């Protein structure tokens, strides 16, 4: 196990190094930089002032030098300074991380709580009226964008209850109840889509397991139906479900742009778009690297869970 984890971590470091090159190159391929944006909005260009700002920000240096400097900053824990806010990048990024992580975690919790049980019920009641209803609900969840469902929820609350969620972010220290409500609505909107996907995967995987010989043997021996379904069948059907959960969580960390905008949440995804528009290289580079790290760690955790859920999975070393 230790050897396997060490190998995966080594591969993860190489992957992050490759990702850093891709991120750096793609940002520089985009036309213009923050100096061009500043002077275009001002309506005139003073070449000497422009060059002075570029020198101050360090974007007039060769790309190789800029890339190596960024790697040095990552290794030393100094993420550089935001071009737009003239503040340390970590000081700008730090308040954004808890918002997105909390929203993604809540959405995944809702999706698992709704998706796995409904998937099991749909598989056990295959081709019944209840199965068809659950499948239609899941297809609706996959078809409706989360941000659209979020807007519908807000309009419904305004129309029926005369109440609208807070328009400004409320920390749990200020008002925990209002904070919980503020995150509950977008988490439900996002979690509904994820739960629909998890429900479909759970149903398909469980139907395949229920056709196995050992399940038929358990039924023939007269074991309790709930024990057979929840302890034996579901445990072996959970591997693809765990994979989807890990992928969905990693996707949500960087894929909540519109949802965070609709509910006015100051999260990573929403701020990343603004940073890209301003060509704020230190912010964009570090945020995308954070998302890449989450994806890699999610995949590693899923692989580790395989060994826990399936005794047939063994890691050498």
Does 210 reside within a domain?
Answer: yes
Asked whether the beta carbons of 81 and 89 are under 8 A apart, the reply is yes
What pLDDT, on a 0 to 100 scale, did the predictor assign at position 263?
A: 85
Which of 43, 70, 93 is the last residue before a domain boundary? 93
CATH classification at residue 125 = 1.10.3720.10
Does 273 reside within a domain?
Answer: no
167, pLDDT greater than 80:
no
317, pLDDT greater than 60:
no
- 33 with 177, same domain: the answer is no
- 47 with 164, same domain: the answer is no
Which is nearest to 259 in space by CA: 90, 99, 92, 95? 99
- 105 with 195, same domain: the answer is yes
Q: How far is CA 211 from CA 47, 218, 219, 223, in A?
A: 73, 12, 11, 16
- 3 state DSSP class of 88: strand
Higher pLDDT among residues 278 and 203, named by residue: 203
What pLDDT, on a 0 to 100 scale, did the predictor assign at position 166?
A: 75
Which of 219, 234, 265 is the last residue before a domain boundary? 265
Does 60 reside within a domain?
Answer: yes
- 116 with 223, same domain: the answer is yes
Looking at residue 46, the DSSP 8-state letter turns out to be -
Measured at the alpha carbon of residue 13, what is the angle toward residues 72 and 251, in degrees to the nearest 5? Answer: 105
- 158 with 9, same domain: the answer is no
Measured at the alpha carbon of residue 268, what is the angle toward residues 266 and 274, in degrees to the nearest 5? Answer: 80
- 117 with 248, same domain: the answer is yes
What pLDDT, on a 0 to 100 scale, did the predictor assign at position 155?
A: 85
Asked whether the beta carbons of 278 and 1 are under 8 A apart, the reply is no
Q: Give 207-229 pLDDT, tens digit per residue.
A: 888 888 887 887 777 777 777 88
3, pLDDT greater than 80:
no
80 by Cβ neighbours in 10 Å (0-12 / 13-18 / 19+) ranks as: buried
99, pLDDT greater than 70:
yes
Q: How far is CA 242 from CA 202, 289, 290, in A?
A: 10, 24, 22
- 77 with 119, same domain: the answer is no
Q: How far is CA 172 from CA 6, 180, 252, 253, 257, in A?
A: 38, 8, 21, 20, 22
What pLDDT, on a 0 to 100 scale, did the predictor assign at position 105?
A: 92
Average pLDDT for residues 55-61, to the nearest whole number? 84
Mean pLDDT score of the chain: 84
- 89 with 119, same domain: the answer is no
- 67 with 148, same domain: the answer is no
Of 72-76, 82-86, 172-176, 225-229, where does mean pLDDT reach its minimum?
225-229
Which of 93, 124, 139 is the last residue before a domain boundary? 93
What pLDDT, on a 0 to 100 scale, did the predictor assign at position 118?
A: 93
pLDDT band at 114 (very low <50, low <70, confident <90, very high): very high
- 3 state DSSP class of 109: helix
Does 123 reside within a domain?
Answer: yes
Which is nearest to 308 in space by CA: 216, 212, 235, 258? 235
- 11 with 113, same domain: the answer is no
Does 277 reside within a domain?
Answer: no
Of 147-161, 176-190, 303-317, where does mean pLDDT reach its minimum?
303-317
Does 164 reside within a domain?
Answer: yes
For the entire predicted model, the pTM comes to: 0.84
Q: How far is CA 126 from CA 23, 132, 209, 216, in A?
A: 46, 8, 14, 16
- 111 with 35, same domain: the answer is no
Domain count for the chain, please give it: 2
Does 274 reside within a domain?
Answer: no
Residue-number span of the structural domain to which 134 is assigned: 96-265
Average pLDDT for residues 114-128, to the nearest whole number? 90
pLDDT band at 203 (very low <50, low <70, confident <90, very high): very high
What pLDDT, on a 0 to 100 scale, did the predictor assign at position 247?
A: 87
Does 145 reside within a domain?
Answer: yes
Higher pLDDT among residues 298 and 33, named by residue: 298
Instruction: Please identify which residue in the block is written with the tokens 């996959």.
Output: 142
Number of Cβ atoms within 10 Å of the Cβ of 180 = 13
- 248 with 145, same domain: the answer is yes
């Amino acid at each position: 196990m230790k050897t396997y984890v060490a190998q995966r971590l080594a591969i993860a470091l190489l992957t992050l190094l490759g990702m850093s090159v891709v991120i750096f190159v793609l940002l520089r391929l985009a036309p213009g930089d923050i100096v061009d944006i500043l002077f275009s909005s001002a309506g005139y260009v003073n070449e000497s002032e422009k060059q002075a700002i570029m020198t101050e920000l360090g974007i007039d240096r060769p790309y190789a030098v800029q890339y190596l400097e960024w790697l040095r900053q990552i290794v030393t824990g100094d993420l550089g300074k935001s071009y737009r806010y003239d503040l340390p990048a970590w000081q700008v990024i730090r308040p954004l991380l808890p918002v997105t992580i909390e929203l993604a975690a809540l959405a995944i919790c809702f999706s698992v709580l709704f998706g796995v049980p409904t998937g099991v019920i749909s598989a056990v009641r295959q081709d019944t009226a209840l199965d068809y209803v659950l499948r239609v609900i899941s297809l609706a969840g996959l078809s409706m964008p989360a941000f659209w469902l979020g807007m519908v929820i807000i309009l419904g609350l305004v129309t029926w209850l005369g109440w609208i969620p807070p328009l400004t972010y409320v920390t749990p220290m200020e008002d925990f109840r209002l904070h919980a409500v503020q995150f509950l609505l977008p988490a439900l909107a996002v979690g509904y889509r994820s739960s629909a996907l998890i429900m479909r995967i759970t149903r398909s995987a469980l139907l395949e397991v229920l056709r196995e010989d050992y399940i038929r043997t358990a039924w023939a021996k007269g074991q309790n139906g709930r024990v057979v379904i929840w302890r034996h069948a579901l445990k072996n059907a959970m591997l693809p479900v765990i994979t989807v959960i890990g992928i969905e969580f990693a996707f949500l960390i960087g894929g909540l742009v519109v949802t965070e905008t609709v509910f006015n949440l100051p999260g990573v995804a929403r701020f990343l778009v603004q940073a890209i528009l301003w060509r704020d290289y230190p912010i964009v580079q570090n945020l995308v690297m954070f998302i890449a790290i989450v994806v890699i760690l999610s995949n590693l955790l899923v692989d580790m869970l395989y060994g826990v859920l399936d005794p047939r999975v063994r890691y050498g070393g």
